[in-house]
């Protein structure tokens, strides 16, 4: 059994010294603040006791199956995207909690929230109210929809955003089945989280240059639609359009892992030279190499179905390892196709130490994903396990209120 890795003693990432007050939950905002926490920020996750109908705190605490005997508030997704954070539990219906929160806001560089904005205003936490406490605050709101449009303020989840953004229309354009389908990953949440983390660092850079804080809105629908249409706006980019929606190479039904004699590979020759070398390796001969449909990038792009059909035909003639040994020396892009179960044993991910084992006081041993971005001078690290609900309430309030305890100030 692998030895458990020790937590780092202090933040070494590029955001060390910055403090973020985190009112996000679920995946979108929480993923964004986890990225920033890995990069060194002191992220203080503000959670509430709930309405009395649930268990309180971030709902992701309660999703999934914890080990036998472990507390129920440490679900696997929560464990993964809330490390390096401190949790405080405050009931903002209480005036004492509001006073404590105001003191905390004074110490924070960033206020990040995914609560609907009307809800924030009811709590007295609009941008104007927070900026009145700290004028240079970077206030970032993860919204479902931009505040200037008719959907403003409506609830939004990954399923809804995939549906509204056009993402549910991609598989029908690929396989001809007209039924819209949602991709089986929380792509809208995670993409929006990436936009949010980048927006926070950009606003912090502006503040460092000018001293100005600002309100930043990160709307899921706009972010995900922008992400999708990078390639799928395609020939509709022109006015008048020169063709259809959808990047044809990508919505080609033959764009997929290819079956070999004993498994599957991802394979994509790209340049003219790579295609010629692949045709030779596949034994297709001059007839295919000289086919005008495959003469150059432009003509290949118009005939990707036929081209990928040739790859599928060739792939089945050799084992996965044979293809790797033939194509890698030619620098033709090729990789073994992994199942989820295969990923942990992937030799590259093993070599870079992608998975790390830690020991959590509450849940025991768990698998963590190493921060993927590599900083040569200011490396990200893992300093804290995902927190129990309200674990750091006393600790944080003592920092901002001196010796006044959480029990006295937020009861």
pLDDT band at 77 (very low <50, low <70, confident <90, very high): very high
- Residue among 63, 109, 5 at smallest CA distance from 368: 5
Q: What percent of the chain has pLDDT over 70?
A: 97
In a domain, 12, yes or no: no
Q: Tell the residue number behind the tokens 């240079």, with chain if given.
A: 136
In a domain, 241, yes or no: no
Least confident of 30-44, 48-62, 175-189, 319-333: 48-62
In a domain, 384, yes or no: yes
Quick one: tokens of 149?
Answer: 């449009």
- Digit-coded pLDDT (tens) for 97-137: 999 999 999 999 999 999 999 999 999 999 999 999 999 99
pLDDT band at 296 (very low <50, low <70, confident <90, very high): confident
- Digit-coded pLDDT (tens) for 81-99: 999 999 999 999 999 999 9
In a domain, 173, yes or no: yes
Mean pLDDT (the chain) is 94
pLDDT of 285 above 90: no
Judgement on whether residues 132 and 280 belong to the same structural domain of the protein:
no
Q: Tell the residue number behind the tokens 């590979």, with chain if given.
A: 265
Judgement on whether residues 277 and 131 belong to the same structural domain of the protein:
no
Count the neighbouring beta carbons within 10 Å of the beta carbon of residue 285. 10
Q: Domain boundary residue among 308, 336, 364?
A: 336
The answer to whether 40 and 87 are in contact (CB under 8 A) is no
pLDDT of 364 above 60: yes
Task: Provide the pLDDT for residue 97.
Answer: 95
Judgement on whether residues 281 and 304 belong to the same structural domain of the protein:
yes
CATH number of the domain bearing residue 331:
3.30.1540.10
In a domain, 14, yes or no: no
In a domain, 308, yes or no: yes
Number of domains in the chain: 2
In a domain, 406, yes or no: yes
CATH number of the domain bearing residue 54:
3.40.50.10540
Task: Provide the pLDDT for residue 51.
Answer: 55
Least confident of 46-55, 204-213, 332-341: 46-55
Judgement on whether residues 100 and 169 belong to the same structural domain of the protein:
yes
Task: Provide the pLDDT for residue 214.
Answer: 98
- Residue among 226, 241, 317 at smallest CA distance from 278: 317
Q: What percent of the chain has pLDDT over 90?
A: 88
Judgement on whether residues 265 and 379 belong to the same structural domain of the protein:
no
pLDDT of 54 above 70: no
Mean pLDDT in residue range 170-192? 97
The answer to whether 101 and 402 are in contact (CB under 8 A) is no
Judgement on whether residues 262 and 368 belong to the same structural domain of the protein:
no
CA-based R_g, the chain, Å = 25
pLDDT of 410 above 50: no
Least confident of 44-58, 266-280, 325-339: 44-58
Residues 6+ positions from 37 with CB-CB distance below 8 Å? 20, 43, 83, 84, 85
pLDDT band at 1 (very low <50, low <70, confident <90, very high): low
Residue range(s) defining the domain that contains residue 370: 19-228+347-410
Q: Domain boundary residue among 294, 314, 336?
A: 336
Task: Provide the pLDDT for residue 113.
Answer: 98
Judgement on whether residues 197 and 71 belong to the same structural domain of the protein:
yes
Q: What is the largest CA-CA distance in the chain?
A: 84
- Digit-coded pLDDT (tens) for 386-395: 999 999 999 9
Backbone angles phi, psi at 76, to 5 degrees: -65, -40
Judgement on whether residues 389 and 302 belong to the same structural domain of the protein:
no
What whole-number distance in Å separates Cα of residue 45 and Cα of residue 66? 21
pLDDT band at 302 (very low <50, low <70, confident <90, very high): confident
Judgement on whether residues 39 and 159 belong to the same structural domain of the protein:
yes
pTM: 0.93
Backbone angles phi, psi at 297, to 5 degrees: -60, -45
- Residue among 318, 309, 153 at smallest CA distance from 221: 153
Judgement on whether residues 193 and 121 belong to the same structural domain of the protein:
yes
Q: Domain boundary residue among 316, 336, 356?
A: 336
Judgement on whether residues 318 and 378 belong to the same structural domain of the protein:
no
Task: Provide the pLDDT for residue 267.
Answer: 95
Judgement on whether residues 170 and 282 belong to the same structural domain of the protein:
no
Least confident of 39-48, 265-274, 289-298: 289-298
In a domain, 249, yes or no: no
């Amino acid at each position: 059994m692998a030895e458990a890795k020790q937590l780092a003693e202090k933040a070494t990432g590029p955001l060390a010294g910055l403090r973020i007050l985190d009112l996000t939950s679920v995946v979108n905002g929480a993923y964004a603040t986890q990225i920033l926490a890995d990069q060194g920020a002191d992220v203080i996750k503000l959670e509430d006791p709930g309405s009395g109908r649930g268990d309180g705190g971030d709902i992701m605490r309660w999703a999934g199956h914890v080990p036998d005997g472990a507390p129920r508030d440490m679900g696997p997704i929560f464990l993964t995207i809330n490390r390096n954070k401190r949790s405080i539990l405050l009931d903002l219906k209480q005036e004492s909690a509001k006073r404590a929160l105001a003191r905390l806001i004074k110490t924070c560089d960033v206020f990040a929230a995914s609560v609907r904005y009307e809800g924030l205003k009811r709590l007295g936490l609009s941008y104007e109210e927070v900026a009145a406490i700290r004028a240079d605050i970077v206030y970032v709101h993860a919204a479902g929809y931009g505040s200037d449009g008719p959907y403003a303020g409506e609830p939004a989840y990954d399923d809804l955003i995939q549906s509204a953004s056009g993402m549910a229309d991609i598989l029908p354009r690929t396989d001809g089945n007209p039924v819209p389908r949602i991709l089986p990953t929380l792509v809208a949440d995670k993409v929006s989280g990436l936009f949010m983390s980048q927006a926070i660092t950009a606003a912090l850079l502006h503040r460092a240059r000018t001293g100005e804080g600002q309100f930043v809105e990160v709307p899921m629908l706009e972010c995900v639609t922008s992400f999708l249409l990078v390639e799928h706006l395609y020939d509709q980019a022109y006015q008048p359009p020169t063709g259809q929606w959808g990047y044809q190479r990508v919505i080609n039904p033959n764009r997929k892992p290819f079956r070999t004699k004993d498994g599957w590979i991802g394979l994509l020759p790209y340049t003219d030279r790579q295609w010629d070398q692949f045709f030779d390796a596949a034994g297709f001969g001059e007839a295919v190499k000289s086919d005008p449909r495959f003469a150059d990038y432009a003509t290949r792009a118009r005939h990707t179905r036929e081209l990928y059909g040739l790859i599928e035909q060739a792939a089945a003639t050799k084992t996965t390892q044979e293809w790797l040994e033939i194509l890698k020396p030619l620098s033709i892009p090729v990789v073994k196709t992994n199942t989820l179960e295969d990923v942990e044993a992937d030799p590259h991910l093993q070599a870079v130490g992608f998975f790390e084992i830690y020991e959590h006081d509450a849940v025991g041993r768990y698998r963590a994903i190493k921060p993927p971005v590599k900083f040569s001078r200011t490396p990200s690290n893992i300093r804290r396990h995902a927190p129990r609900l309200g674990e750091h309430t006393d600790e944080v309030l003592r920092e901002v209120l001196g010796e006044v305890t959480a029990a006295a100030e937020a009861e």
